[in-house]
Amino acid sequence: MSKNPLFATRASRMKASEIRELLKLLDQPGIISFAGGIPDPALFPADAFSQAFQAALGPQTQAQALQYSVSEGYVPLREWLVQHMREIGVTCDIDNILITSGSQQALDYLGKLFLSPGDTALVGWPTYLGALAAFNAYEPQFDRLNGNSGAAEYKAAAGDGAVKFAYLSADFANPTGETLDRQGREALLDLAEELDCAIIEDGAYQALRYDGDPIPPILSLELARKGSIENCRTIYCGSFSKTLSPGLRMGWVVAPKPTISQLVLLKQAADLHSATINQMAVHDVAQACFDSHIPQVRAVYQNRRDVMLDALEQHMPDGVEWTRPEGGMFIWVTLPAGVSGSELLARALDTVKVAFVPGQAFFPDGSGANTIRLSFSNSDEAAIREGIRRLGEVLRA
Ligand SMILES: Cc1ncc(COP(=O)(O)O)c(C=O)c1O
């Protein structure tokens, strides 16, 4: 696509997301899709939301619900989040929290706040495609977080720019499903100290653990070292998308107050505030049923993960390997060397109507051609068994 010469240089770095383009094709009948990492709509607490929106539009609160509001976010929702963060090991107060329009917006703002052109962002190899897209607009270079480099090597590779942050999902990452163990989290904190850089901890899937013991968030481990969130370099991004509803676009950032103040300025310039009525409804629903709803969501996804793992065991030919995630929505499959995920997708769509995401898109350098991401969250048991059976058939062929 030729770009308008009037566009800024950063526009040339922006590419259409392979996932979004693909999702457009998936409306065809008969497709079994393991592509989008999206929640099952049957699990949305729709009745609770219906009541919450009606209540917000009632005579007492309609003026507030439909009015402009403060950029930091709806106070009762931020108060609920203070409590929620405490439950996962993070002590903070309401002034450490900014409500964002999805955690995706938080990633964009953090890219804008930290990255000058040429600065380095350390990311997983592979990592969440949406984070790469958000950061990429600010013209950084990416370096590999899960390589074996130490601080000196990272600094040397950064050249004239600085290493500004390390970005990761410590729990059930998108796309690999993998979790960073406690030792790895502590080591990352040590590395960030040496590099004097921030850590952006993406907790999008944090609540979706199916087995194994919870590991404290990186921010919680840093708090144990430093006593107060004001001394921490870790910035935590949370989301209601995977637990309650992605359509309402509700996320949050937890950070030291000076960082929140800067983010508030960015939010004022970008969209003033997140939708008032959505914040009120999410608060209402979170307060009424978050704790009872999450176990139901976990039970459904846990079963789907187990079914997919079982089907992979049964149908994948020799030489194919995959992760065994303790939570989240994804299984990451490594095909034998030389087998291309993109070609497999083209063939699978064409011959057996199965969709997934080729892994290459998740690597900043376009490597990983022989990987694919499978999502188990939005297919029922029968579809998972049948889809993986068909995929095994195509791979054998
Ligand atoms: C790791 C990760 N972070 C952030 C997001 C963005 O989520 P949202 O903007 O809906 O909160 C996603 C969405 O898929 C994700 O997988």
Mean of pLDDT values over 84-95: 98
Do β-strands 163-168 and 141-144 pair in parallel, antiparallel, or remain unpaired? Answer: unpaired
**pLDDT per position as a tens digit, 205-231:** 999 999 999 999 999 999 999 999 999
As a whole number of angstroms, the distance between CA 234 and CA 231 comes to 9
Model confidence at 15, pLDDT cuts 50, 70, 90, reads confident
What are the C-alpha distances in Å from 131 to residues 172, 207, 210, 366?
A: 15, 20, 25, 15
Could you tell me the distance, in angstroms and rounded to a whole number, from the CA of residue 242 to the centre of ligand 1? 8
pLDDT at 26 over 90: no
Atom of ligand 1 nearest to the CA of 329: 16
Of 380, 365, 397, 271, the closest CA to residue 40 belongs to 380
Give the per-residue pLDDT at 16: 72
If you take atom 2 of ligand 1, which residue's CA is the nearest one? 204
Give the per-residue pLDDT at 190: 97
What are the C-alpha distances in Å from 134 to residues 119, 129, 206, 369?
A: 14, 9, 21, 22
Mean of pLDDT values over 98-102: 98
Percent of the chain with pLDDT over 90: 90
Could you tell me the distance, in angstroms and rounded to a whole number, from the CA of residue 211 to the centre of ligand 1? 22
Atom of ligand 1 nearest to the CA of 103: 11
Q: Which of 38, 103, 108 to mutate to test the pocket of ligand 1 (most atoms within 8 A of CB)?
A: 103
What contacts 148, CB < 8 A, 6 or more positions away? none
pLDDT at 1 over 60: no
Give the per-residue pLDDT at 21: 66
Q: Which of 99, 105, 174, 178 to mutate to test the pocket of ligand 1 (most atoms within 8 A of CB)?
A: 174
Could you tell me the distance, in angstroms and rounded to a whole number, from the CA of residue 38 to the centre of ligand 1? 10
Could you tell me the distance, in angstroms and rounded to a whole number, from the CA of residue 267 to the centre of ligand 1? 18
What are the structure tokens assigned to 186, written together? 């502590």
Give the per-residue pLDDT at 20: 61
Prediction pTM value: 0.96
As a whole number of angstroms, the distance between CA 165 and CA 115 comes to 9
If you take atom 15 of ligand 1, which residue's CA is the nearest one? 204
Q: Which residue intervals of 227-373 are DSSP H helices? A: 257-270, 276-315, 341-351
Of 154, 170, 150, the closest CA to residue 162 belongs to 154
Atom of ligand 1 nearest to the CA of 251: 11
DSSP state of 317: P
Could you tell me the distance, in angstroms and rounded to a whole number, from the CA of residue 207 to the centre of ligand 1? 13
Rg of the chain over all Cα atoms, to the nearest angstrom: 21
Q: Which of 20, 44, 242 to mutate to test the pocket of ligand 1 (most atoms within 8 A of CB)?
A: 242
Atom of ligand 1 nearest to the CA of 246: 10
Give the per-residue pLDDT at 340: 94
Could you tell me the distance, in angstroms and rounded to a whole number, from the CA of residue 250 to the centre of ligand 1? 10
List ligand 1's pocket residues with C-beta within 6 A: 37, 102-104, 128, 130, 169, 174, 202, 204, 239, 241, 246, 251
Question: Which single residue is written with the structure tokens 């944090």?
Answer: 206
**pLDDT per position as a tens digit, 102-142:** 999 999 999 999 999 999 999 999 999 999 999 999 999 99
Rounded to the nearest angstrom, the gap between the alpha carbon of residue 207 and the centroid of all alpha carbons in its chain is: 12
Could you tell me the distance, in angstroms and rounded to a whole number, from the CA of residue 106 to the centre of ligand 1? 10
As a whole number of angstroms, the distance between CA 375 and CA 330 comes to 5
